[in-house]
Structures are given as C-alpha cells and as structure tokens.
Amino acid sequence: MELRQDLKGKDFLNIMDFSTEDLTYMLNVADELKHLSKLGKCPKLLEGKTLGMLFQKSSTRTRVSFETGIYRLGGIGLFLSANDLQIGRGEPIKDTARVLSRYLDGLMIRTYSHDEVLELAHYADMPIINGLTDLLHPCQALADIQTARQYKGTLSGLKLTFIGDGNNVAHSLMNICAKMGMHFSIACPKGHEPQETIVKNAQEVAKRTNGSITILEEPKEAIQNADVVYTDVWASMGQEKEAEERKKVFQKYHVDCELMSYAKKDAIVMHCLPAKRGLEITDEVIESKQSVVFEEAENRLWAQMAIMALLMA
C-alpha cells in the first residue's frame, strides 16, 4: 500500500489545518485499511514504530482504538497516564515534549486544555495527534464523516444536524462539514452556542465549498431535511457538577422518534458515545434501523489508523 509522503511528520490537531483534498485522502486511506483488514491483509506500515498515548481524561473508544490500531499497523502503543508522568507533578510541557520526542515516533494526547496540546506540538519533534481537548475532537469528526460517506455515498451537499451543546464534538463536526461542502446546522440553547471564532472560520470555509453553517435554537427547525442527525451528552467530561442544571436547560434537545420525523426518512442517526439513554437520545432511536452509532464507533479505529499511518510511516 503506497502512501503520500507530504503528510509525514505533520500534527493532527485541528481539522482546519488540512485541505479538503487532504481530508478526502485520509478518508480513502481509512476505507482502504478497513477493507484490507477485513480480508486479513492489513499492511504493517508502522512496523518498529512506537506511539505514546497520553491520557489526562479517561476513555474507552480512544484508548482501545488507538492501541489496537497501532498494533494492527505493526507498531506498539504505550499507555501513559498523566498521574504516572512527571507532567502530573509539574514538569513543564515543553520539557516533556522534548524528552518524549527522543523516545517515541508519535504521541496521541487526550486532555482538557487545547493550549497545552498546542504547546506540546510546538516543542515536540514528532507528530502530535489530538485525541480530544475541551475545544476540539478531530479524530471523532473524521470517523463520523467516514461513516456518513459509507452510508450516503457522498458528502458534498449533505445536511448534518447536531442537537445539543456547542461543544468540542460540535466544533470539529462543523469544521469538517465546512471543508467537505456539507450543510451543518446546530440547535442549542442560548448560552450554549459553539464558539463564535470557530463559527466564523467555518462559515468562511463553507462559502468556498458551497456548504453552509447555521446556528439555531429550535431543534425542529434545525433538523428539517437532515441527512444525518447527531447528538452528544448534555454534560461533557469535566462538567459533571453542571449535570443537573443542564438537564433542565437541554430538556427539549432530545432526539426521539417525534423529532426524527422532521428529518429525511432515510436519515441516519449518530452519537459519539457514551450515550445517556433517555436524556439526549431515546433508547428507541439509538436501537433503530436508522442508528449507525456502532459502525461510527468502529470507524474510529480505521480513521485513526489512517492518521497514524500518514503522519508516522
């Protein structure tokens, strides 16, 4: 399997750092790795390479998919807990970055502060992959769009509606929809809109790709004619103390069969998981024929294998 070499050594921090052509190529590589792996022919593109996986936030999908992915590609994944490293005892990020660069071929980090990831990438001499920050979740977005393309056959012109909080997942989805010429709409309560800067940047990109970005308050308005309906938990990791208050604020931002009736009849339903069934989404919807949440979760593996291969091979 031959790979482009121009992405080697780059960081994967933000969807906006890549062109539409780059992202399309990543999706194609992800699909090819998925196909080959299902045939038992996964290429060992990262043989002898080591990926560090630094977690300051706990995870199911991120840890297992990255660890499995690097193994399938012939490399080794090394789990690093912030509690076990000197970074957890106050070592400067710039020191940690330069030390780990001498041991590893790449580093995935899942943390709170996006600025910390930017600083890590600035000082590191290896590719840094953003496994999640409070601002962005680009790996999830790439897997989401891989899933949408798998079920819809194309991306340009599709409408994706996000119901809920303007959080890190919403930010990265907005960015990738803009890049791929899709129509992104989000319904969220006042005070919980996506960051204004991210919205403006995405709108500028969408103008060039014939896509659109729409911020609304009413779920039934946002979901009209949607091809893809997406939701996420009302209280993200780190917002647990706000959970009860958010239940009141987000009460109508609830994907049920009645709300789904306003989307296209063949709309698919996505959720990045873990889901709070009965809150942001009903059990009936997540178990319906329209739900693709488990295929979406599987595609985290293939999308991230593509990212690792392209950055580290």
Q: Which residues are catalytic?
A: 110, 137, 140, 232, 272, 300
Per DSSP, what are the bridge partners of residue 55?
A: 81, 110
Q: Write b or e for each residue in 165-178: b if 16 or more Cβ atoms lie within 10 A of its Cβ, otherwise e.
A: bbbbbbbbbbbbbb
Nearest to 7 by CA among 227, 307, 216, 291: 307
Helix (H/G/I), strand (E/B), else coil: 297:
helix
Angle between helices 114-123 and 93-100 (to 10 degrees): 50
Nearest to 26 by CA among 311, 307, 308: 307
Assigned token pair, 45: 């593109």
Q: Are 108 and 66 in contact (CB under 8 A)?
A: yes
Q: Which amino acid does the sequence have at 303? A: A
Between β-strands 50-55 and 106-110, what pairing exists: parallel, antiparallel or unpaired?
Answer: parallel
- What's CA 129's distance to the chain center, in Å? 11
